């Protein structure tokens, strides 16, 4: 039975069908640009990806204008797709979304197994694990059904409506469609702030080192902690202004700033548009840590929920209704204790305030009088800075 299911039935000559020996059989092929929508049903539920008609209308208008002016278009303009029913605040990965209609437009197989539609049940295709309904812009439809796994060959049994045959798919073909809608969320969840004249005072040698304020709260902070940046401070530019005012650790302050200085990545997306029960399940009713950043007109909030116990935390960004899975190694900036945020030196004096130094040994005493000089510089914005 296994041989028949995987390699096909023998013909009168005693040989398997000639198509069965091919390693790349075209089962269905249409132009991606002709697809209007793709509807996928799988173990995670369903989703619909449709062509962005506003983009195509603009392209047709541009093509018409080009034709009237005597110029031609290459016809290779990039297609745009919409994942329907998703909150517009959730950033999506357009390239990943585009992979669905591309895979649905060209179906290839390793082998042709049976020419009888009556055999669908033998291959798990009477109740397929995955169905992909494709609607073309001219109204034509076809459905790709993906059935059982094979036990002695890679690939899945597949059937395309309008063709009675059952095929063995290319290895991994089903993986493209076996995802939830959350799979299409962008995984760069915070992008690094780029240097410009607007943010020049926050950068040094191309690196983001400054901010207006950073507020830290959550279960790991008994009281809210506030960090500030003062580039004109001659001693230490980083300050803790609450709960107790003192200097902040420069190393830790720069690390806390890391999501905006170097981006923040998620491993995957747990849930899109979570309800109150789901937010509680992932720990957002009592978050581990909440970091609020302000850099001029940039405002960012990173909220860290519950750990899964396997090295990942649930994370939310601003008011985006999505819960992301982020590695604990990427969240060190959000896990510092209050004590670690403070500068650890027991004595800190600005060099400009020191007039003399005295060193004593058992036999001698040495005294050095310090003479201070100042240098004033002016940046491109006309701001001056004096260094002692």
DSSP string, 54-84: HHHHHHHHHHHHHHHTT----S-PPP-EEET
Residue 343 to residues 218, 335, 336, Cα–Cα distance (Å): 22, 17, 13
| Calpha distance 96→183 (Å, rounded) | 8
Banded pLDDT at 16 (limits 50, 70, 90): very low
Task: Round the average pLDDT of the chain to a whole number and report it.
Answer: 87
* pLDDT per residue as tens digits for the range 139-173: 999 999 999 888 766 889 999 999 989 999 999 99
Which pLDDT value is given to residue 6?
Answer: 54
Residue 63 to residues 34, 58, 72, 80, Cα–Cα distance (Å): 17, 9, 7, 17
E strand or H helix at 265 = strand 264-265
Please check the confidence at residue 70 and state whether its pLDDT lies above 60: no
Banded pLDDT at 351 (limits 50, 70, 90): confident
Three-state DSSP at 328 gives: helix
| Calpha distance 94→143 (Å, rounded) | 24
Please check the confidence at residue 95 and state whether its pLDDT lies above 70: yes
């Amino acid at each position: 039975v296994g041989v028949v299911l995987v390699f096909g039935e023998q013909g009168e000559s005693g040989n398997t069908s000639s198509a069965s020996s091919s390693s790349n059989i075209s089962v269905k092929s249409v132009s991606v640009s002709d697809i209007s929508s793709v509807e996928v049903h799988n173990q995670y539920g369903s989703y619909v990806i449709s062509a962005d008609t506003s983009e195509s209308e603009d392209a047709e208008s541009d093509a018409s204008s080009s034709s009237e002016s005597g110029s031609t278009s290459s016809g290779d303009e990039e297609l745009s797709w919409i994942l329907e029913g998703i909150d517009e605040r959730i950033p999506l990965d357009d390239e990943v979304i585009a992979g669905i209609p591309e895979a649905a437009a060209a179906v290839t197989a390793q082998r042709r197994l049976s020419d009888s539609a009556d055999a669908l049940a033998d291959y798990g295709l009477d109740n397929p694990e995955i169905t992909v309904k494709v609607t073309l812009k001219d109204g034509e439809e076809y459905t790709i059904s993906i059935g059982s796994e094979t036990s002695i060959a890679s690939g899945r049994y597949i059937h395309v409506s309008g063709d009675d045959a059952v095929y063995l798919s290319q290895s991994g073909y089903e993986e493209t469609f076996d995802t939830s809608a959350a799979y299409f969320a962008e995984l760069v969840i915070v992008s690094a702030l780029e240097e410009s004249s607007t943010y020049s005072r926050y950068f040094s040698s191309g690196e983001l080192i400054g901010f207006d304020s950073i507020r830290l709260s959550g279960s790991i902070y008994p009281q809210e902690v506030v960090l500030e940046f003062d580039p004109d401070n001659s001693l230490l530019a980083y300050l803790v202004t609450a709960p107790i005012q003192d200097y902040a650790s420069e190393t830790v302050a720069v690390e806390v700033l890391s999501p905006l200085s170097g981006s923040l990545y998620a491993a995957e997306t747990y849930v899109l548009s979570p309800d109150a029960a789901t937010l509680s399940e992932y720990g957002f009713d009592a978050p581990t840590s909440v970091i609020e950043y302000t850099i001029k007109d940039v405002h960012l909030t990173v909220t860290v929920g519950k750990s899964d116990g396997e090295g990942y935390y649930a994370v939310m960004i601003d008011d985006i209704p999505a819960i992301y899975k982020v590695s604990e190694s990427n969240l060190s900036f959000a896990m510092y204790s209050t004590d670690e945020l403070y500068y650890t030196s027991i004595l800190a004096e600005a060099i400009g305030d020191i007039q003399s130094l005295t060193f004593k040994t058992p036999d001698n005493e040495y005294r050095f009088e310090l003479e201070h000089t100042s240098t004033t510089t002016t940046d491109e914005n006309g701001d001056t800075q004096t260094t002692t």
